[in-house]
Structure 1
Amino acid sequence: MRIIRLKEVTHLTGLARSTVYKYLAEGKFPKSVSLGHRSIGFLESEIQEWIMARIKERDMAG
């Protein structure tokens, strides 16, 4: 299990930081993990699953 920071999440997903926060607020993105005061991370496996789900949606639509 690996925790990745927001910078790597934005790199992996291609999403802007503000979009990640928007999706978090809407419940459309994996929940963050508190790493301390004003610091969050994400489970890399959950981010990978989220990406794969987007690919699956694309493939099923087309």
Structure 2
Amino acid sequence: MADRFLSVKQVVDKVCLSKTELYDRIGAGTFPRSIPLGPRKVVFLQSQVDAWMQAQVEAAASGLSARSEKARRAVAARRDRQGAAL
């Protein structure tokens, strides 16, 4: 499969980030860098944007699991405290 160029507008629409947030993340190194095509035109590789999106999904899923486990432990501890108080 051939890779495809995405414009900034296409990337903003695809990842649901503002243009400012997109460039902030590029500057922070947490989003793929753009490729300059000319003095006023940059593009992104679709494969890199798709890989970033997949990484976000995986990070959210693993974080969700960790948060769920932490919440279960907190509820259990609260029950233990309430049981001890009775």
TM-score category (smaller protein): over 0.9
In structure 1, the gaps of 5 or more residues are: none
One-letter amino acid of the counterpart of residue 31, structure 1: R
If asked which structure has higher relative contact order (CA below 8 Å, sep 6+), I would say 1
- Residue 32 (structure 1) aligned with residue 38 (structure 2): no
In structure 2, the gaps of 5 or more residues are: 65-86
More strand by share: 1
Q: What SS class does the counterpart of residue 15 from structure 1 fall into? A: coil
One-letter amino acid of the counterpart of residue 60, structure 1: S
Superposition TM-score, scaled by structure 1 size: 0.96
How far the C-alpha of 1:25 sits from its partner, in A, is 0.7
The higher radius of gyration belongs to: 2
Find the aligned partners of 2:21 and 2:39 in 1 and give their Cα distance.
Answer: 22
Superposition TM-score, scaled by structure 2 size: 0.70
- Alpha-carbon RMSD across the aligned residues, in angstroms, is 0.6
Find runs of 4+ consecutive structure 1 residues off by over 6 angstroms: none
